[in-house]
Amino acid sequence: MRGAARLLVATLGLALAAALTRAIGELPAERPSQAVDLRPQVVAHLDQTGVSHPVTAVLLDYRGYDTLLEVAVLALALIALLVLAGARDARLCAPAGSPLLVSLARGLVPVVVLTGGYLLWAGAHRPGGAFQAAAVLAAGAVLLQLAGLMPAWASPGRWLRLGLMLGFGVFLGVAYGLLGRGALLDYPPQWAGALILLIETGLTLSLGLTLAGLFLFLTERRGRP
């Protein structure tokens, strides 16, 4: 039974792979002449977006609404994990960090914050931005937790919850605030750069906490009371 199912999946898989390969192979030659090319449009409106890096412009302006929902996905995953962590009843106690870890954390955290800040600032002009910066900050938060310098995450207090939602809240607030101009997220060109920086700063903080939370909720600190 199981062998037959595998054979079926393998056969269908080979057929699908062949079809996909053929479709991809013949596309460039057969691309219809009316096909849209968004690249010139992205460049043409770049000066109205307040950022000079095209990917950041797509991410936070042209398709900023995707990013808003994506931040919601992350927040939701964190909440679902919080439910599971509660159900598992394994409290994430703040471990007493070893002295070496504590001094390492104290030394590294300023570097981490600086690197995150740089990536955030750089995102407007070149590769980088809130998500990459947040990943770096998350590493710092995990380090702090392992060193016992962060409060326990098992039942996050109100301030931590506020921090987790701050970036999303700012993003949502800006999106809704601009509705007065006629549409969600419709940045006025002269304020676009500043508003995007505001959103990205909030996101960096909250996503950093969220990514750290994904890690900390999932991983049990074994072998400690």
Partner 1 sequence: MPAAYADPSAGLIVLPLAWAAAAFVLGPGRGGGMAVVALMGQCALALGLAVGVMQTGPRVHAVGGWGAPLGIDLAADGLTVLMLLLAQSVALAVAVYARGYFADHAHRAQGLWFWPQMGFLVAALNALFLSADLFNLYVTLELLGLAAVGLVAVGGAAGQMAAALRYLVVSLIASGAYLMGVALLYGAHGTVSLATLGPLLAAGSPRLADSLAAALMLAGLLAKTALFPFHAWLPPAHGRAPAPVSALLSALVVKAGFYLVLRLWLGPFAPLAAPAGPLLGALGAAAVLFGSWQALRTAHIKRLVAWSTVAQLGYLFLVFPLLDSGGQALAAAMLQAVAHGLAKAAMFAAAGVLVLATGRDTLDGLAGVASRLPVTLFAFGLAGVTLMGLPPSGGFLAKWLLIDAAFRAGQWGWVPVVIGGGLLAAAYVFRVLRQAFLLAPPAARFQPVPRRLEWTAFALAAASVLLGLRAGELLALLGADG
Partner 2 sequence: MPELLDGLLAAALLGSAWASLATRDLTRAVVMFIVFGLLMALAWARLQAPDIAIAEAAIGAGLTGALLLDALGALGLRRGAAPRDEGGPRGEP
Partner 3 sequence: MSTGLVFAHAGAVLFVLGLAGGLVLGHLLRRILALNVMGSGAFLVLVGLAQSDGQPDPVPQAMVLTGIVVAVAATALALGLARAFHARTGRTRLDGGEE
Interface with partner 1 by CB under 8 A: which residues?
A: 19-20, 22-24, 26-27, 30-32, 34-38, 41-42, 45, 61-66, 68-70, 72-73, 75-77, 79-80, 82-84, 86-87, 155, 158, 161-162, 164-165, 168-169, 172, 175-176, 179-187
Output the six-digit token pair for 92. Answer: 């994430």
Query: Would you say 151 and 141 are in contact if contact means Cβ atoms under 8 Å apart?
Result: no
Quote the least distance from Cβ 198 to partner 3, whole Å: 19
CB atoms inside a 10 Å sphere around CB 149: 16
Quote the least distance from Cβ 118 to partner 1, whole Å: 28
CB atoms inside a 10 Å sphere around CB 39: 9
Residue at token pair 């070893």: 98
21 binds, options partner 1, partner 2, partner 3, none, Cβ within 5 to 8 A by partner type: partner 3
Q: Which is nearer to partner 3, 58 or 160 (CB)?
A: 58
Stretch that binds partner 3, among 58-66, 151-159, 163-171, 179-187 (CB under 8 A): 58-66
Q: Which long-range contacts (CB under 8 A, 24 or more apart) does 219-223 make?
A: 220/90, 220/92, 221/92, 221/93, 221/95
Rounded to 5 degrees, what are φ and ψ at 177?
-60, -35
Burial label, 164 (beta-carbon count in 10 A; 0-12, 13-18, 19+): buried
| CA–CA dist 186, 198 (Å, integer) | 15
Quote the least distance from Cβ 118 to partner 3, whole Å: 19
| CA–CA dist 57, 51 (Å, integer) | 6
169 binds, options partner 1, partner 2, partner 3, none, Cβ within 5 to 8 A by partner type: partner 1
175 binds, options partner 3, partner 2, partner 1, none, Cβ within 5 to 8 A by partner type: partner 1
Residue ranges binding partner 3 (CB under 8 A):
5-6, 9-10, 13-14, 16-17, 20-21, 24-25, 27-28, 38-39, 42, 54-55, 57-59, 62-63, 66-67, 70, 73-74, 76-77, 80-81, 84-85, 87-88, 131, 211, 214, 217-218
